[in-house]
Copies of this chain bind each other. A is one copy, B any other.
Amino acid sequence: MNTSIFAPPECLLEAQKVRLAIREGYDRPTAGMANGLTQVNMISVPQDWAYDFLLYTQRNPQSCPVLDVIDAGQFQSRLIQDKQHDIRTDFPRYRIWEYGQCVDEVNDATSIWNNHPDMVTFLIGCSFSFESALLNAGIEVRHITDQRNVPMYLSNIPCTSAGRISGNMVVSMRPIPATQVSQAVQITAKMPRVHGAPVHIGDPKSLGITDLSKPDFGDSPRVLDGEIPVFWACGVTPQAAVMRSKVPFAISHAPGYMLITDVPDQAWML
Protein backbone atom coordinates (compact mmCIF):
# COMPACT_ATOMS: atom_id res chain seq x y z
CA MET A 1 0.00 0.00 0.00
CA ASN A 2 1.10 3.52 -0.68
CA THR A 3 0.70 5.06 2.79
CA SER A 4 0.73 8.54 1.31
CA ILE A 5 -2.85 7.87 0.27
CA PHE A 6 -4.85 9.02 3.27
CA ALA A 7 -8.59 9.55 3.39
CA PRO A 8 -10.04 12.93 2.27
CA PRO A 9 -9.78 15.84 4.77
CA GLU A 10 -13.39 15.62 6.06
CA CYS A 11 -12.85 11.95 7.01
CA LEU A 12 -9.53 12.81 8.65
CA LEU A 13 -11.29 15.38 10.83
CA GLU A 14 -13.73 12.68 11.95
CA ALA A 15 -10.85 10.29 12.69
CA GLN A 16 -9.06 12.98 14.67
CA LYS A 17 -12.25 13.77 16.62
CA VAL A 18 -12.76 10.10 17.51
CA ARG A 19 -9.12 9.63 18.55
CA LEU A 20 -9.39 12.72 20.75
CA ALA A 21 -12.62 11.48 22.37
CA ILE A 22 -10.89 8.17 23.06
CA ARG A 23 -7.87 9.92 24.53
CA GLU A 24 -10.19 11.89 26.79
CA GLY A 25 -11.79 8.75 28.19
CA TYR A 26 -14.21 7.12 25.74
CA ASP A 27 -14.04 3.47 26.80
CA ARG A 28 -16.15 1.29 24.52
CA PRO A 29 -15.56 -1.12 21.60
CA THR A 30 -14.95 0.82 18.39
CA ALA A 31 -16.88 -1.30 15.82
CA GLY A 32 -18.81 1.03 13.51
CA MET A 33 -16.95 4.19 14.61
CA ALA A 34 -15.38 6.60 12.06
CA ASN A 35 -17.05 4.58 9.34
CA GLY A 36 -14.81 3.75 6.37
CA LEU A 37 -11.50 4.28 8.15
CA THR A 38 -9.12 1.45 8.96
CA GLN A 39 -9.05 0.29 12.58
CA VAL A 40 -6.05 -1.71 13.79
CA ASN A 41 -5.09 -4.28 16.40
CA MET A 42 -1.92 -3.77 18.43
CA ILE A 43 0.72 -5.85 20.12
CA SER A 44 3.91 -4.46 21.59
CA VAL A 45 6.78 -6.72 22.67
CA PRO A 46 10.32 -6.18 23.96
CA GLN A 47 12.98 -5.67 21.25
CA ASP A 48 14.46 -9.03 22.15
CA TRP A 49 11.19 -10.72 21.08
CA ALA A 50 10.54 -8.56 18.01
CA TYR A 51 12.23 -10.84 15.46
CA ASP A 52 10.40 -13.97 16.61
CA PHE A 53 7.19 -12.01 16.62
CA LEU A 54 7.67 -10.47 13.16
CA LEU A 55 8.53 -13.92 11.81
CA TYR A 56 5.35 -15.29 13.41
CA THR A 57 3.30 -12.68 11.55
CA GLN A 58 5.11 -13.49 8.28
CA ARG A 59 4.27 -17.17 8.71
CA ASN A 60 0.66 -16.48 9.66
CA PRO A 61 -0.37 -13.64 7.36
CA GLN A 62 -4.10 -14.37 7.41
CA SER A 63 -4.47 -13.92 11.15
CA CYS A 64 -1.55 -11.50 11.64
CA PRO A 65 -1.43 -9.14 8.63
CA VAL A 66 1.06 -6.47 9.74
CA LEU A 67 0.10 -3.00 8.48
CA ASP A 68 2.82 -1.11 10.35
CA VAL A 69 5.77 -1.75 12.69
CA ILE A 70 6.67 1.08 15.06
CA ASP A 71 10.30 1.07 16.19
CA ALA A 72 11.19 1.12 19.89
CA GLY A 73 10.88 4.61 21.35
CA GLN A 74 8.44 5.74 18.62
CA PHE A 75 4.72 6.25 19.27
CA GLN A 76 3.37 7.33 15.92
CA SER A 77 2.24 5.25 12.96
CA ARG A 78 2.70 5.64 9.21
CA LEU A 79 -1.03 4.95 8.96
CA ILE A 80 -1.97 8.26 10.61
CA GLN A 81 -1.26 11.66 9.06
CA ASP A 82 -2.35 13.72 12.09
CA LYS A 83 0.86 14.45 13.98
CA GLN A 84 -0.99 14.80 17.30
CA HIS A 85 -1.73 11.10 17.58
CA ASP A 86 -0.11 8.85 20.15
CA ILE A 87 -0.47 5.07 20.29
CA ARG A 88 -0.02 5.18 24.08
CA THR A 89 -3.35 6.99 24.57
CA ASP A 90 -5.42 6.60 21.42
CA PHE A 91 -6.67 3.07 21.93
CA PRO A 92 -9.67 3.08 24.30
CA ARG A 93 -8.28 0.26 26.40
CA TYR A 94 -5.03 -1.67 26.78
CA ARG A 95 -4.10 -5.01 28.27
CA ILE A 96 -0.83 -5.51 30.11
CA TRP A 97 0.74 -8.95 29.92
CA GLU A 98 3.37 -10.59 32.11
CA TYR A 99 4.60 -14.10 31.30
CA GLY A 100 1.42 -14.82 29.35
CA GLN A 101 -0.98 -13.58 32.01
CA CYS A 102 -3.12 -10.48 31.57
CA VAL A 103 -2.25 -8.59 34.75
CA ASP A 104 -4.02 -5.28 34.15
CA GLU A 105 -6.29 -3.24 31.86
CA VAL A 106 -5.71 0.49 31.50
CA ASN A 107 -7.08 3.38 29.41
CA ASP A 108 -3.77 5.21 29.14
CA ALA A 109 -0.58 3.20 28.69
CA THR A 110 1.88 6.13 28.69
CA SER A 111 3.45 5.35 32.04
CA ILE A 112 3.74 1.67 31.17
CA TRP A 113 5.59 2.41 27.93
CA ASN A 114 7.77 4.89 29.82
CA ASN A 115 8.84 2.07 32.11
CA HIS A 116 9.55 -0.22 29.13
CA PRO A 117 11.38 1.90 26.56
CA ASP A 118 12.45 -1.03 24.38
CA MET A 119 9.00 -2.10 23.14
CA VAL A 120 8.48 -2.68 19.39
CA THR A 121 4.86 -2.22 18.33
CA PHE A 122 2.98 -4.08 15.63
CA LEU A 123 -0.25 -2.72 14.15
CA ILE A 124 -2.30 -5.49 12.61
CA GLY A 125 -5.25 -5.43 10.22
CA CYS A 126 -8.76 -5.81 11.62
CA SER A 127 -11.84 -7.40 10.12
CA PHE A 128 -13.78 -4.23 10.97
CA SER A 129 -12.23 -2.95 7.73
CA PHE A 130 -14.49 -5.14 5.62
CA GLU A 131 -17.65 -4.44 7.57
CA SER A 132 -18.55 -1.30 5.63
CA ALA A 133 -18.15 -3.31 2.41
CA LEU A 134 -20.53 -5.94 3.83
CA LEU A 135 -23.03 -3.26 4.88
CA ASN A 136 -22.81 -1.60 1.46
CA ALA A 137 -23.75 -4.95 -0.09
CA GLY A 138 -26.85 -5.18 2.13
CA ILE A 139 -25.34 -7.73 4.51
CA GLU A 140 -26.21 -6.96 8.12
CA VAL A 141 -23.33 -6.93 10.60
CA ARG A 142 -25.10 -8.09 13.75
CA HIS A 143 -22.76 -6.70 16.40
CA ILE A 144 -22.99 -3.26 14.79
CA THR A 145 -26.80 -3.48 14.72
CA ASP A 146 -26.74 -4.49 18.39
CA GLN A 147 -24.03 -1.96 19.31
CA ARG A 148 -22.03 -4.71 20.89
CA ASN A 149 -18.47 -6.01 20.57
CA VAL A 150 -17.80 -8.68 17.93
CA PRO A 151 -17.61 -12.20 19.43
CA MET A 152 -14.12 -13.78 19.21
CA TYR A 153 -13.08 -17.35 19.98
CA LEU A 154 -9.80 -19.15 20.54
CA SER A 155 -9.94 -21.87 17.86
CA ASN A 156 -8.15 -25.21 17.61
CA ILE A 157 -6.37 -24.10 14.40
CA PRO A 158 -2.63 -24.05 15.13
CA CYS A 159 -0.60 -21.18 13.73
CA THR A 160 2.87 -21.86 12.33
CA SER A 161 5.35 -21.28 15.14
CA ALA A 162 8.37 -18.98 14.87
CA GLY A 163 11.28 -19.14 17.29
CA ARG A 164 9.82 -18.96 20.80
CA ILE A 165 6.32 -17.97 19.58
CA SER A 166 3.43 -20.37 19.05
CA GLY A 167 -0.31 -20.37 19.53
CA ASN A 168 -3.69 -21.07 17.98
CA MET A 169 -5.71 -18.79 15.72
CA VAL A 170 -8.33 -16.50 17.24
CA VAL A 171 -11.41 -16.10 15.03
CA SER A 172 -14.17 -13.51 14.91
CA MET A 173 -17.72 -14.61 14.09
CA ARG A 174 -20.57 -12.93 12.24
CA PRO A 175 -23.91 -14.69 11.76
CA ILE A 176 -24.86 -14.36 8.08
CA PRO A 177 -28.14 -15.45 6.40
CA ALA A 178 -27.46 -18.61 4.38
CA THR A 179 -28.48 -16.79 1.19
CA GLN A 180 -25.76 -14.17 1.68
CA VAL A 181 -22.82 -16.32 2.78
CA SER A 182 -21.40 -16.71 -0.72
CA GLN A 183 -21.49 -12.95 -1.25
CA ALA A 184 -19.83 -12.34 2.14
CA VAL A 185 -17.01 -14.70 1.13
CA GLN A 186 -16.50 -12.95 -2.20
CA ILE A 187 -16.44 -9.46 -0.69
CA THR A 188 -14.03 -10.25 2.12
CA ALA A 189 -11.75 -12.36 -0.12
CA LYS A 190 -10.85 -9.12 -1.90
CA MET A 191 -9.32 -7.72 1.31
CA PRO A 192 -6.51 -10.14 2.32
CA ARG A 193 -4.58 -7.47 4.28
CA VAL A 194 -7.50 -7.25 6.74
CA HIS A 195 -7.98 -11.04 7.19
CA GLY A 196 -9.61 -11.74 3.82
CA ALA A 197 -12.02 -14.62 3.22
CA PRO A 198 -13.52 -16.65 6.09
CA VAL A 199 -11.40 -19.47 7.51
CA HIS A 200 -14.50 -21.52 8.34
CA ILE A 201 -18.23 -21.54 7.59
CA GLY A 202 -20.76 -23.32 9.80
CA ASP A 203 -20.31 -25.93 12.55
CA PRO A 204 -18.37 -24.21 15.37
CA LYS A 205 -17.43 -27.60 16.91
CA SER A 206 -14.92 -28.37 14.17
CA LEU A 207 -13.03 -25.25 15.32
CA GLY A 208 -13.17 -26.55 18.90
CA ILE A 209 -15.83 -24.01 19.87
CA THR A 210 -18.36 -25.76 22.10
CA ASP A 211 -20.68 -22.86 22.92
CA LEU A 212 -21.14 -19.94 20.50
CA SER A 213 -22.86 -17.93 23.22
CA LYS A 214 -19.68 -17.87 25.29
CA PRO A 215 -16.96 -16.16 23.25
CA ASP A 216 -13.45 -15.98 24.66
CA PHE A 217 -13.32 -12.26 23.86
CA GLY A 218 -16.02 -9.68 23.09
CA ASP A 219 -19.78 -10.03 23.53
CA SER A 220 -22.18 -12.95 23.15
CA PRO A 221 -23.76 -12.98 19.66
CA ARG A 222 -27.44 -13.00 18.68
CA VAL A 223 -27.89 -15.66 15.97
CA LEU A 224 -31.22 -15.92 14.15
CA ASP A 225 -32.86 -18.93 12.49
CA GLY A 226 -31.48 -19.45 8.99
CA GLU A 227 -28.18 -17.81 9.79
CA ILE A 228 -24.83 -19.53 9.47
CA PRO A 229 -21.95 -18.66 11.81
CA VAL A 230 -19.11 -17.44 9.59
CA PHE A 231 -15.59 -17.25 11.05
CA TRP A 232 -12.75 -14.96 10.02
CA ALA A 233 -9.14 -14.90 11.23
CA CYS A 234 -8.77 -12.26 13.94
CA GLY A 235 -6.05 -9.82 14.95
CA VAL A 236 -6.36 -10.94 18.57
CA THR A 237 -4.35 -14.01 17.50
CA PRO A 238 -1.09 -12.34 18.71
CA GLN A 239 -2.56 -12.12 22.22
CA ALA A 240 -3.20 -15.88 22.15
CA ALA A 241 0.45 -16.29 21.13
CA VAL A 242 1.59 -14.07 24.01
CA MET A 243 -0.41 -16.27 26.39
CA ARG A 244 0.80 -19.59 25.01
CA SER A 245 4.41 -18.48 24.61
CA LYS A 246 4.63 -16.78 28.01
CA VAL A 247 6.26 -13.66 26.58
CA PRO A 248 7.81 -11.93 29.66
CA PHE A 249 6.10 -8.61 28.96
CA ALA A 250 3.68 -7.28 26.37
CA ILE A 251 1.15 -4.50 25.84
CA SER A 252 -1.89 -5.05 23.61
CA HIS A 253 -5.18 -3.35 22.93
CA ALA A 254 -8.26 -4.86 24.59
CA PRO A 255 -10.09 -6.96 21.97
CA GLY A 256 -12.52 -4.76 20.03
CA TYR A 257 -11.05 -1.53 21.44
CA MET A 258 -9.10 -0.43 18.39
CA LEU A 259 -7.03 2.47 17.10
CA ILE A 260 -8.66 4.52 14.32
CA THR A 261 -6.20 5.35 11.52
CA ASP A 262 -6.34 7.87 8.66
CA VAL A 263 -6.28 5.19 5.94
CA PRO A 264 -9.56 4.37 4.19
CA ASP A 265 -10.70 0.73 4.43
CA GLN A 266 -10.85 0.86 0.63
CA ALA A 267 -7.05 1.03 0.54
CA TRP A 268 -6.97 -2.71 1.35
CA MET A 269 -9.43 -3.68 -1.42
CA LEU A 270 -7.73 -5.46 -4.31
Contacts and interface: CB of A to CB of B under 8 A. Distances in A.
Interface residues of A, number: 16
Copies in the complex: 2
Contacts of A103: none
Interface string A58-99: 110000001001010000000000000000000000000000
Nearest to A51: B51
Nearest to A50: B51
Contact of A55 (B54, B163, B270): B54
Contacts of A57: 58
Nearest to A190: B270
A192 interface: yes
B66 A58 contact: yes
Secondary structure call for the A interface: helix
A51 B50 CA distance: 7
Interface string A38-66: 00000000000011001101110000001
A59 B69 contact: yes
A192 to B, nearest CB: 7
From A51, A57, A162, residue with most partner B Cβ within 10 Å: A51
A251 to B, nearest CB: 19
Contacts of A54: 51, 54-55, 58
A238 B152 CA distance: 38
Interface string A15-59: 000000000000000000000000000000000001100110111
Contacts of A50: 51
A165 B71 CA distance: 14
Given A50-B51, A51-B51, 13 more contacts: A51-B54, A54-B54, A54-B55, A54-B58, A57-B58, A58-B58, A58-B66, A58-B69, A59-B69, A71-B163, A189-B270, A190-B270, A270-B270
Task: Give 5 nearest A-B pairs by CB, closest first.
Answer: A51-B51, A54-B54, A58-B66, A55-B69, A50-B51
